[in-house]
Amino acid sequence: MTFAWYFNEFTMAGVDFEDVSRVTAYDRNQTASTPEKEQALVSRLGIAAGHTVIDLGAGTGTFAIQAALAGASVHAVDISRAMLNYAQSKAQKAGVATVNFHLAGFLTYEHQGEFADVVITKNALHILPDFWKMIALLKIAAFLKPKGVFYLRDVVFSFPPADYETAIEQWIAQVAKPEGQGWTVKDFQMHVREEHSTFAWAVEAMLKRAGFDIVETNYPSPTYAEYLCRKAVT
Ligand SMILES: C[S@@+](CC[C@H](N)C(=O)[O-])C[C@H]1O[C@@H](n2cnc3c(N)ncnc32)[C@H](O)[C@@H]1O
């Protein structure tokens, strides 16, 4: 059943990933997602032949391709047709045939087949307001096998809330690149203004509420976080 109040995740906030020039520039801008780094993450998550893996907000597919090269059956989910087309052509060039591409999002993807061994989402969950992040996490937990792994990496704020002005300004000054060389000051300003990155304590509480045990938490800076979780067995 669909409700009139349900969030329309296809009306994308922030960066327009239907814009083909944004999509083709993505791999250049996103230096944290090189094939080597994604391959290391695949090993760290213990992804192996026979596993079912779901990547939500899969973008240009770098992680999905590396997981498939490790022998997993991968579902790459994204609401951007342009991103999926780009990822699909990358997978073809890499000779990978075990990535299934789905035009859907956190709230609309309906998983069929084997329960997942691993669900991952990187740099994407912030697109949803907090209420809908919580709903997305409940859905993710439902896709996973008991004790299945959930890995979340995103822009998450771990600075003291009262320091928000200095913390955001320092972040942008440290990471923004000149036009044509990566994410710009305007991109980061838009992220904070229009997307829905939130506080670390809120994300941790949501993960627990959704039924995850948080196995590892890393805050490499006051504006990024990664969480390695397992679906709790009740
Ligand atoms: C910043 S990119 C991250 C891509 C990739 N996960 C990475 O780490 O490089 C965010 C991706 O999320 C997708 N996206 C936006 N809203 C979404 C939603 N509601 N559900 C799933 N994907 C979404 C965008 O189209 C885009 O491909």
167 assigned to some structural domain: no
Position 48 in a domain: yes
181 part of a folded domain: no
Domain containing residue 90: CATH number:
3.40.50.150
CA 123 / ligand 1 centre spacing (Å): 7
pLDDT 10s digits, 147-174: 999 999 999 999 999 999 999 999 999 9
List helix spans (H) across 151-199.
Answer: 164-175, 185-194
* pLDDT at 31 (0 to 100): 78
Q: Is residue 133 domain-resident?
A: yes
3-state secondary structure of 208: helix
Residue 232: pLDDT above 70?
yes
Residue nearest atom 13 of ligand 1, based on CA coordinates: 57
Using the mean position of ligand 1's atoms as its centre, give its distance from the Cα of residue 230 in Å: 22
Residue 75 inside a domain? The answer is yes
**pLDDT tens-digit profile of 27-42?**
777 777 899 999 999 9
- Ligand 1: distance of its center to the CA of 126 in Å? 9
> What residues contact residue 158 under an 8 Å CB cut-off, 6+ apart?
199, 200, 219, 222, 223, 225
Of ligand 1's listed atoms, the one at least distance from the Cα of 128 is: 19
pLDDT of residue 201: 98
Q: Compute the CA torsion angle 185, 189, 195, 197 (nearest 10 deg).
A: 90
Cβ 70 vs Cβ 42: under 8 Å: yes
Task: Give all strands (DSSP E) within the chain, no chain letters.
Answer: 52-56, 73-78, 99-103, 116-122, 144-155, 212-221, 224-231
Q: Does pLDDT of 1 surpass 70?
A: no
Domain count for the chain, please give it.
1
> What pairs with residue 155 in β-bridges?
224
Cα–Cα distance measured from residue 234 to residue 118, given in angstroms and rounded to the nearest whole number: 18
The 10s digit of each residue's pLDDT in 114-126 is 999 999 999 999 9
Residue nearest to atom 21 of ligand 1 (CA): 105
User: Domain for residue 145, yes or no?
Assistant: yes
- Residue 188 forms part of a structural domain: no
Q: Is the minimum distance from the CB of 9 to ligand 1 under 6 angstroms? A: yes
Distances (CA, A) of 146 to 140, 226, 230: 12, 21, 8
Give me the domain span that covers residue 145: 20-159+197-231
Residue 117 lies in a domain: yes
